[in-house]
Structure 1
Amino acid sequence: MKKIILLLVLLSTYIFSNINIVVSILPEKSFVKAVGGKKVNVSVMVLPGNSPHTYEPKPSQMKEIAKANLYFAIGVEFEKIWLPRFKDLNGKMQIIDLTQGITKLPMQAHEHHGEHTGHKHEEMGYSSLDPHVWTSPANVRIIAKNIYNALAKADPENKEYYRQNLDSFISKINETDRKIRAILAKIPKGSKFMVFHPSWGYFAHEYGLVQLPVEVEGKSPKPRELIALIKEARAEKIKAIFTQPEFSDAAAQTMAKELKISVIKVSPLSKKWSENLLNIARAIAGNK
């Protein structure tokens, strides 16, 4: 009898034990918790107010790496340097690429018309692939399935639990997609919206929109470039300029004042990914 009780205790401990997971950014935490539920502990590397381009983990976060079972990578810049170091620190930790199966888009750069010739040319060109894959519901579906596959493999005893959570989360993703399409239904395909940092390329691609970046070579535009941007925004009837809390919005504020439109601060790093996308869709459509 004692052996049976001990076996049941050990079995329940195994079934209900949590998997320690580390993710790079907050949206990932939302996705992992949606699929993993109560059976996962999730730590985030890039906390609010920081940029994944230049982030360096704190010593306390390295402790989380040391005890992690899984690391969910999503392709943000700091991972290139730090993932090998994380692996050196914790050789048993598995690194899972959540972007597997996603077609990456080029990182969009600012374009403008030549001052004297009038022909269009690239100021910076497409220098790299856009890491902001989670700004598209279609990509979030793929990410969610990748999370499920990793959890089911790491914890097969709870595979059905993760499957039920995945199905529920996919339904929520689909509902977000339907709402966005309804909001954007009345605006023509190819409609443009202006952003300081080009973080919404996948969102634009999925819904037939075009994002117009304000920054030039990763920097605020010079006065001459700013004048050209204001003219372009006026011609395209831009209704708002999107900026991120992680970047200065001085140039955007100047443009908005001249155009009498709003500056909307929205971060692609917010954990409220669905609310973020719906708010962006409403602003693009001119809905308050």
Structure 2
Amino acid sequence: MKLTERNDILKIIRIFIIVLSVVSIGCMPIKTNAAKSGNVDSKSVNSSSKPVLALSILPQDYFASRIGGDLVETLVLVGPGQSPHNYEPSPRQMADLAKAHAWILSGTEFEISLRPKIEDLFPNLLLIDGTRGVSFRSMEEHEDEDDDGDRSGIDRHTWLGLEPAKIMAFHIRDALCAADSSNAAIYQENCESLIHDMEKQFESLRNELAPLKGKTVFVYHPAFGYFLDDFDIRQEAVETGGREPTPRQLGVLIGKAKAENVKVIFVQAQFPVESARTAARAAGAELVSLDPLAGDWLANIKVMGEALARSVQTGGNP
């Protein structure tokens, strides 16, 4: 065989391998996080007529599942146990984003750096700000005269508050109606049912949390502000802005915890809790874990409310 003929054959083989690889990637199923189980699952996009929504966090998947049901496919970026504060998408997720009709933004930190890349790679992907219309609150910061850091940051944990969560649900509903107008009536009806359940859950917690009105609860990371605002409860954070407290700040916090007879400090799985554990030991308090990123949003709101109510019943945070 001549050398030129051999080279031509090798070129054809290389081209075939490249084409086969592209086709294989295109046939891969989208991985989603199912709201019912809270675990990573995989679903195949069986029909191009189904809207495919990319979602930043698991609570959004709950909203999309309630509104879209079996009519929608979802791709959740930040999975169970991961934190949006330091999340980076995997190559597989980046490939899956090419199949999405829209990406519903949650307002979390990682979106700020990821968004320009997504806009360059997928110019046809519709980006929807799920927090548009939300009245943002400021993130609580430690009062420390030695700390000259930026205290102007907004609190991005909007999905835990009733009104911001409703706004997020409305954006998801509108995105589905735009992508699949033939089922708009179903999306509207399902959204109304979701909103009803949201309002009912918050209303049921108002009596339980009434003893905490105007009081302060102690948390490791200040993620619960929007939720607590609905019940006129303040939060005092061990950590803010992703920074561990200084020895001076920790001492002030322990002093406050002792003065207010704090019996519970709330922590979350996505963050180290050594500082909170130190404060809890010094104040004679216990650590109680909450997860602001739990997949079943409605059940999680109930869990958080009941945990706060128990802290009152056991004599904590009076």
TM-score, normalised on structure 2? 0.78
Residue 33 and residue 269 in structure 1: after superposition, are their counterparts in 2 closer, same or farther (change >3 A)?
A: same
- Is the aligned partner of 1:18 residue 2:43? no
Offset of residue 50 of structure 1: 2.2
The equivalent of 2:18 in structure 1 is none
Report if aligned partners of 2:238, 2:253 keep a CA contact under 8 Å in 1: yes
Identical positions, percent: 35
Distance in 1, Cα, partners of 2:64 & 2:140: 28
Q: Secondary structure at the match of 2:207?
A: helix
Equivalent-residue separation in structure 2 for 1:32 and 1:216 (angstroms): 30
Match of 1:184 among 192, 198, 209: 209
Matches within 5 A, 1:169-248: 169-187=194-212, 189-215=213-239, 218-248=242-272
Q: Matched residues in 2 for 1:68 and 1:168: separation?
A: 26
1:133 is aligned to 2:158:
yes
- The alpha carbon displacement at 1:252 in A equals 1.0
Structure-1-length-normalised TM-score = 0.85
Structure 1 residue 220 displacement after superposition: 2.1
Q: Deviations over 1:144-194 (max 9, x none)?
A: 11211121112111001101111111111012111221211233x211001
Query: Structure 1 residues 216, 60: closer, same or farther in 2, change over 3 A?
Result: closer
The aligned amino acid for 2:294 is S
Q: Structure 2, unaligned stretches of length 5 or more?
A: 1-46
CA deviation vs aligned residue, 1:13-45 (integer Å, no higher than 9, x gap): xx9931111111111111111111111111111
Greater Cα shift, 191-200 or 213-222: 213-222
User: Counterpart of 1:5?
Assistant: none
Q: Which amino acid aligns with 1:259?
A: A
Give the whole-Å Cα distance in 1 for the aligned partners of 2:134 and 2:82.
25
Asked if the contact 2:138/2:155 (under 8 Å) is kept, the reply is yes
Q: What does residue 86 of structure 1 align with?
A: 118
Distance 1:217 1:155, change over 3 A: closer
Matched-pair contact (CA < 8 Å) for 1:109–1:216: yes
1:250 matched to which residue of 2? 274
Cα distance between partner residues in 2 of 1:216 and 1:164? 40
Q: 1:236 to 1:273 in 2, by over 3 A?
A: farther
Q: What's the CA shift for 1:122?
A: 7.7
Structure 1: segments with no counterpart, 5+ residues: 1-14, 115-120
State whether residues 140 and 240 of structure 2, in contact with CA within 8 Å, keep that contact through their aligned partners in structure 1: no
> Separation in 1 of the partners of 2:127 and 2:246?
42
Match of 1:164 among 189, 205, 216: 189
How many pairs align?
266
Quote the residue 2:91 is aligned against: 59
Cα separation, partners in 2 of 1:59 and 1:195, compared to 1, 3 Å: same
Distance in 2 of aligned mates of 1:186 and 1:108:
22
1:216 deviates by: 5.2
Match of 2:128 in 1: 96
Cα deviation for residue 201 of structure 1 reads 1.2
Question: In the alignment, is residue 265 of structure 1 matched against residue 254 of structure 2?
Answer: no
Using the TM superposition, give the Cα deviation of residue 125 of structure 1 relative to its aligned residue in structure 2, in angstroms. Answer: 6.0
Quote the Cα distance in structure 1 between the aligned partners of 2:258 and 2:304: 19
Aligned-residue CA RMSD (Å): 2.2
Shift of 1:91: 1.9
214-223 vs 160-169, greater mean Cα deviation: 214-223
Moved segments of 4+, more than 6 Å: none
